[in-house]
C-alpha cells in the first residue's frame, strides 16, 4: 500500500517544504513545552495540533498521519531539521 503524500490532499508544495512548514508549526506551538515523543503520548493534544494545522492552512482533507509523519521523519533524521 502506498503511503499518502501531502499533494494527494491538495497541499501545493514539495515534500521538503511541507516538512519544514510542519516543523515550524510544531515549534510554534510546543517549543520548550513538549517534544514530539511527548505529543505522541498525548493523543488528544496530537489531534488538537492536527486540527490546528488543517484549520490554519485550510487543508481540510489532510489526514493526521501525513502531518505527524512529516515531523517524525525529521525527528528520526536530524539533518532534515535544517532551518528550524
The grid cell for 20 is 519544514
Does residue 2 fall inside a structural domain?
A: no
Does residue 20 fall inside a structural domain?
A: yes
Does residue 68 fall inside a structural domain?
A: yes
pTM of the entire structure?
Answer: 0.84
Q: Which domain holds residue 67?
A: 14-78
Q: What is the domain count for the chain?
A: 1
pLDDT mean over 14-26: 94
Does residue 30 fall inside a structural domain?
A: yes
What spatial distance separates the first Cα and last Cα of the chain, rounded to whole Å? 31
pLDDT one-digit tens code per residue, 21-49: 999 999 999 999 999 899 989 999 999 99
Q: Is the pLDDT of residue 81 over 70?
A: no
Burial class of residue 67, CB neighbours in 10 A (0-12, 13-18, 19+): buried
Q: What is the radius of gyration, based on Cα positions, of the chain?
A: 12
Query: What are the φ and ψ backbone dihedral angles of 51, each rounded to 5 degrees?
Result: -65, -40
Amino acid at each position: 500500500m502506498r503511503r499518502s503524500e501531502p499533494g494527494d490532499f491538495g497541499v501545493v508544495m514539495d515534500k521538503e517544504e511541507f516538512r519544514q512548514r510542519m516543523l515550524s508549526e510544531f515549534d510554534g506551538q510546543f517549543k520548550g513545552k513538549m517534544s514530539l515523543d511527548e505529543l505522541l503520548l498525548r493523543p488528544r493534544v496530537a489531534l488538537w495540533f492536527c486540527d490546528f494545522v488543517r484549520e490554519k492552512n485550510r487543508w481540510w482533507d489532510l489526514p493526521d498521519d501525513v502531518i505527524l509523519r512529516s515531523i517524525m521523519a525529521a525527528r528520526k533524521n536530524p539533518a532534515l531539521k535544517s532551518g528550524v
